[in-house]
Structure formats: C-alpha cells, structure tokens
C-alpha cells in the first residue's frame, strides 16, 4: 500500500478525530472509509453522466427520442404502482 500525506486544517483534523473516536475507529481508518465512499459515489456519478451523454449523442445521431410529456406521465404511473405502456420512440427532427 502506498503512502499519501494529507495536510488537514486543525479544525478538520479535530472533527475527524472526534467522529472517529465516537465511531470506535481510528482517524486513519475513518479517513480511508470517507475517501473510499467519496470515490464510489463519484464513480457512480460519472457513470450516470457518461450514460446520459451517450444517450444524448444517440438522440442527435438518430433524430429520435421520447416526448417528455409522455415519459413524465409514464413515470408518474409507475411511481403510483401502475403498469403503463412504455412511451414510443419518435423522430423529433428531420
């Protein structure tokens, strides 16, 4: 395992130490867990953005997509426990 030095402001270091003590762990372990959690969240966020960008690119390439009003109604019905039909893909520009 490699070593990285973090220079923390004293106020942040005190907060980390206090919370680590209350959690029954060391400050080092607390910071490792926090970094790992942030990395996992950022990976999910980046995957979400990448998928969205790929979908927009496909829409622009094919000139086809879903109409928002139909998709919104579909999502509302699904959220209410219904089983609505999936909106149809339509050409939106020529």
Share of the chain above pLDDT 70, in %: 99
Domain spans of the chain? 10-51, 63-94
DSSP characters for 31-82?
Answer: HHHHHHHHHHHHHHHHHHHHHHHHHHHHHHHHTEE--HHHHHHHHHHHHTT-
- What is the predicted pLDDT for the residue at 24? 98
- What is the predicted pLDDT for the residue at 53? 98
With residue 13 as reference, give the H or E element that holds it: helix 10-23
Model confidence, pTM: 0.73
- What is the predicted pLDDT for the residue at 94? 66
* pLDDT tens by residue, 28-65: 999 999 999 999 999 999 999 999 999 999 999 999 99
67 pLDDT more than 90 = yes
């Amino acid at each position: 395992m490699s070593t990285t030095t973090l220079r923390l402001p004293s106020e942040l270091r005190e907060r980390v130490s206090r919370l680590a003590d209350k959690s029954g762990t060391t400050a080092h372990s607390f910071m490792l867990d926090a970094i790992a959690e942030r990395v996992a969240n950022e990976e999910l966020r980046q995957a979400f953005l990448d998928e969205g960008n790929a979908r927009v690119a496909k829409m622009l390439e094919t000139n086809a997509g879903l109409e928002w009003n139909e998709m919104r109604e579909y999502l509302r019905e699904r959220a209410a426990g219904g089983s609505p039909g999936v909106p149809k893909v339509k050409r939106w520009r020529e």
